[in-house]
Structure 1
Amino acid sequence: MAKVIFGITLMLLLTTLSSSITNAQSTNTCTNHPFQSNNQQQPNYKSCVDLPSLNSFLHYTYSPATETLNIAYRHPVGGSTGPATSKWVVWAINPTSKSMVGSQALVAYRSPIDGTLTAYTSPITSYGTMLEKGDLSFNVSELKAEFSNGEIVIFATIKVSINGSTQVNQVWQEGPLSSDGTPRMHSLSGDNVRSMASLDLLSGVIAPANGGSGGFGTSWKNTHGVINTMSWGILMPLGVIIARYVKFFPSADPAWFYLHVGCQLTAYIFGVAGWATGLKLTSGPQHIHHPTHRCIGTTIFSMATLQVLALFVRPKKDHKYRVYWNVYHHSVGYATIILGVYNIFEGFRILKPDNVWRVGYGGVLLGLVVSFVVLEATTWYLSFKRKRIANVAEENKSSINHV
């Protein structure tokens, strides 16, 4: 019954999500959008595409004979015609690869001080760029920006040389401004890491640069998330359930111990791999920086390592220090699981995967919690029943002895 309810809930959730996306796409479209410049209607662009993230749009006219590309890039920043919005926007072409580094960017923002618009060019040479002004590797003319109806629009004419191909690698992005109008680092999760795609200038076909649909894929971040969810979020709690409840039955001794150790060691091995991918993300060219998530992850890995090492100093059952070892082992183990589950949801918040992944892990976690509650109640009942039987037997034995 629970599986049926979960399936229906998941189906309704996905249906609602799909409907919301469809409605959003039907209301936010580039088709027949009028451009106003100095109260004069600009000529319509021959092509337009709804970009697959950040609710952005590209209008363009491409001339193969002259290799000239006229573009109008629309990006919502909010604020309508009211106060200035502290956000910069970028549209760029990367002539060499499908990545951020190497992109030749057109930058625009509305000053948070007086609302004036600024538009300029910026070559992206590193992941830590502050969008400094500079010349691009191709010619750009008629560069300007406008603000209307909560959108910043970048206009430009670009001389593109694509060596007989009709495809360009485009990058579009948004990020915050400091109080003095200096661009700051954009978010490193969600749509901000999905805003790259190739564009066929003749057909208008867009292909995401990562070859995916925006959900969990094969990138380092996604691999990191899947491995750690399996380790700290599923296998580790399962190992605790085995240790706490299977050993309640005398016939399961010592099988429960080997099951528990096997499950926890498997979880730890996965955890080591997850920690390694996390180090690669923070130290590699991506230089992804989420201090809270990283610190909690390092703490979890350290505590789990202590748990594994504790197996080699585990006192025997009748040892006088065994009770202290049990207190340490149980407290560190439960703390590791609690921090692990919290950090998984912190990772969901950072990565922003499709809802089916959140719901899926939520269902697994709910199943573990329900199992824990049911088994806890069952063992308490059986324990009470055993004590009552033992007391009755003791009373009968005492009565026989008196007789």
Structure 2
Amino acid sequence: MFVDEVEIEVKGGDGGDGMSSFRREKFVAAGGPSGGDGGHGGNVIFTVDEGLNTLLHFRERKFYEASSGERGGSKNMHGKDADDLIIKVPPGTTVTDVDTGKVIADLIHEHQEVVIAHGGRGGRGNARFKTSTRQAPKFSENGEPGEERKVKLELKVLADVGLVGYPSVGKSTIISKVSAAKPKIGAYHFTTLKPNLGVVKVGDYSSFVMADIPGLIEGAHTGVGLGDDFLRHIERTKVIIHVLDISGIEGRDPLEDFRRINQELESFNEKLMERPQIVAANKMDLPDSEENLLKLKEVLEAEGYEVYPISAATGKGLNELIKRADALVKEAPDFFDEEVAEEEEVIIRGPQPGEAEDAYEIIEEDGVYRVVGKEIKRKTAMADFTTDEGLYYFLKTLRKMGVDDALKEAGAKEGDTIEIEGWEFEYSE
């Protein structure tokens, strides 16, 4: 089964908790704090494996979580960092954040990798909280939660040449004749339900990859028929071969078919019209083909298109078509490299520079003031509420972040309830 689009959830490993302990040595009456830091949680990393050609292995498992870091130990022993979780994806995989719609990464080259979800940092042990005025801190810090996100994986086949056209125009027959690919071929529409790839050899020293893209119909860019499920696969090709049934045996007008398919391509992605495109007038072995070819060439060659009469069934004209496609492939740039350069590959973690005001917000509901936000959630998860010192340190952190002032500005009064990540506090000035 060919699977080219899935949604999964990933989570970086949680950081290990810091340790709260004190030195206990012979002849030392009151040893100082000696709790070590927790280890960092593992990252979730996607890496390209050229041995894969489908996303099928993601169908059965929808959640991936890296391991958590170890807890810190006594005697200032730091916890061990967790191993990263390496997930293999096929070349041509685009990773998009479902919530924001932003492209996280476009994975194309062998061994290319990207961190999709960062692991949390380890919590600090109580030894890290010792100051000149706080000689024996009895609290530590919990590990930072790992980053969570829902991502969509889309596979776009990596081919130099893409065959496009209406169903049953002969695309599968062409690729079967010029490569070792063995697609299913039948005299009915939508025989091809997945892109077929084949390596085409040209002479002794040249070759390129050809993709047989499933047949398109009007409205494909909006999801009609096989729709945009397969239109994405044409985006990476350097050269487009537009296959037409020149015989008109099904009562279709080849020129009208040409216009409609190009309209679908342009509606899906207008940059596709910048690709070199040559026309393969197929089924020249059938009646009326010669007459239709003359009409087609008169119009399309005047518009700058090259038209190659072929018969996929007999093989006539295929060599000339393939040689021209090979020459265009060598001249064409890697369009997908240009796209990758424009895409954002920065994983956002917490408030970014210049965005401190987005670290939290105050929401008032029925007299209860809720403090929400990514940074607040992180600080709360790492706070030690088991000791008075830990609670005091947390409240002091909130004050430094400006939460006290923000609550006052929002209208909070003495005795009002403040809710922070499930914890309730009483507001006091």
TM superposition score normalised by structure 2: 0.27
Question: Larger relative CO (CA 8 A, sep 6+): 1 or 2?
Answer: 2
More helix by share: 1
- Please give the TM-score of this superposition, normalised by the length of structure 1: 0.28
